[in-house]
Amino acid sequence: MKAILTLLFLLFIASTILAFGYSTFKNRQHKTLCNAFHEKFGFIPGGITLAQAGGIFLTFQKDIYFLCILIFSKNNFIVRDVKSEHYDFINSLPKEMTRWIKIKFSLLLVSVVFLLAESVLYYIFIKA
């Protein structure tokens, strides 16, 4: 059992490093997306600007605005405060310009799943 826990922990560490590495590697695409948004609307949402200033600590937070628009429908509760023209603009962008956001958060989700699996197994088999 300890070998499985160790493997899950190592997979968690590896996937977390991969997720942060991918995020750093795709920073240019983030800036391109922000520039396109700025050219169209004349500003960048405040949450994105604040998260950009947070560096690596907020590396995933800076793309949450775009991710929510990409995965939720227009009338969803999560995107209720997003202006209709912002929503339409982000969803009208080519998939090549936004696909990396979904990949980035998928890698983060894999990390979280490994951490949760390791934690659950630990509490069921070791702690009990």
Q: What is the DSSP letter of 74?
A: T
pLDDT band at 127; cut points 50, 70, 90? confident
Coil, strand, or helix at residue 82? Answer: coil
pLDDT, tens only, 5-48: 999 999 999 999 999 999 999 999 999 999 999 999 999 998 89
Burial letters 74-96, b for 16+ CB under 10 A, else e: eeeeebeebeeebbeebeeeeee
**128 contact partners, CB below 8 Å, separation of at least 6:** none
Q: Is the pTM of this model over 0.75?
A: yes
Report the greatest alpha carbon distance in the chain. Answer: 57
